[in-house]
Amino acid sequence: MPEPGFYPDIPEADYHGDRDSLSVSGAKTLLRAPALFRYEQDHPVHKDVFDFGTAAHALVLGVGADLVIHEYDAEKVRAPKATNAWKDQQAEVRKAGGVLLLPEEHDVVQAMADELSGHKLAMDLLSDGQPEVSAYAPDEHTGIMRRCRYDWLRDDLGVDYKSCADASPGGFGRAVAAFGYHQQHPWYLDLARDLGQPLKGFVFIAQMKTPPYLIGIYELEPEAVAVGRDLNRRALERFRDCRDSGLWPGFVPNDQITPIDIPRWAYTQGETA
């Protein structure tokens, strides 16, 4: 594990393979269930759903995984990703640290990068600073070493690029809640602060994955950041307690029946049926 500091050259595989520090993704999993966090650490699995985002990052930021196009005959092959040719090439490309894409997928990420290149504010944000900067800093209260990886780090801002289904304010706001981006925001700000480089803010560049590949530039409201920071504190304390005790519990206690409720909206569902 690196000493506290900023590192612009840590390979992505080494960053994600670090078991001794805690990332915000790990923090979110810990809040779901420590047992799930421990299992995912012990049984790392590459999720295909992340390949598109990785490819978009590589073209937009100009760094990262090499993109390889899988050529196939569309008239003869209806499901190219189900073929042995795809699976064999994908395994080979991944072993080399790259991402395999269908030609049509590559066309999409290229179109997204082209659209982003014409967005003045996005280009201004990405015109100064460094891409893919990893950071490590210990938490003062728990002693846990935290880590993060900035898509783009400026002297004054952290910038994160998100490919998404809906880049509108409301749509991306729902994605923030669903995927815990309100935890990422303070996590990245707090690491920079604790390393002696306080940032003025943390900005999301959200871009739709479908034409016309619309873009929104967003920063979270202070109330949302406060909620995320509180969740991060709970996750750090849970990680400390589990690590020290060697116990990694599941969703609920295993020696009792746990009462649950239905969502608030479900109580009025029958009134509008």
Contact, 210 vs 224, CB < 8 A? no
Q: What is the sign, positive or negative, of the torsion defined by CA atoms of 191, 196, 198, 199? A: negative
The tokens describing 135, both together, are 């950071």
* CA proximity to 16, closest of 64, 56, 55, 63: 64
Q: Which amino acid is at 104?
A: E
Q: For all residues of the chain together, what is the average pLDDT?
A: 92
pLDDT per position as a tens digit, 88-143: 999 999 888 899 999 999 999 999 999 999 999 999 999 999 999 999 999 999 99
19 membership: H or E segment, kind and range: none
Residue 46: pLDDT over 80: no
Report d(CA 170, CA 240) in Å as an integer: 36
Question: In 10 A of CB 106, how many CB atoms?
Answer: 18
CA distances from 109 to 2, 60, 67, 126, 153 (A): 33, 9, 10, 18, 22
What percentage of the chain has pLDDT greater than the value 70? 99
pLDDT per position as a tens digit, 183-240: 999 999 999 999 999 999 999 999 999 999 999 999 999 999 999 999 999 999 999 9
Question: So what's the architecture of 5-229 in CATH?
Answer: Alpha-Beta Complex (3.90)
Contact, 61 vs 126, CB < 8 A? yes
Report d(CA 39, CA 35) in Å as an integer: 6
Contact, 100 vs 94, CB < 8 A? yes
Q: For the chain, what's the residue count?
A: 273
pLDDT at 45: 79
Per residue in 208-230, is it b (16+ CB within 10 Å) or e — as a string? Answer: bbeeebebbebebeeebbebbbe
* CA proximity to 61, closest of 107, 137, 4, 8: 8
Entry pTM: 0.89
Tell me the domain boundaries of the chain.
5-229
The tokens describing 104, both together, are 């049509």
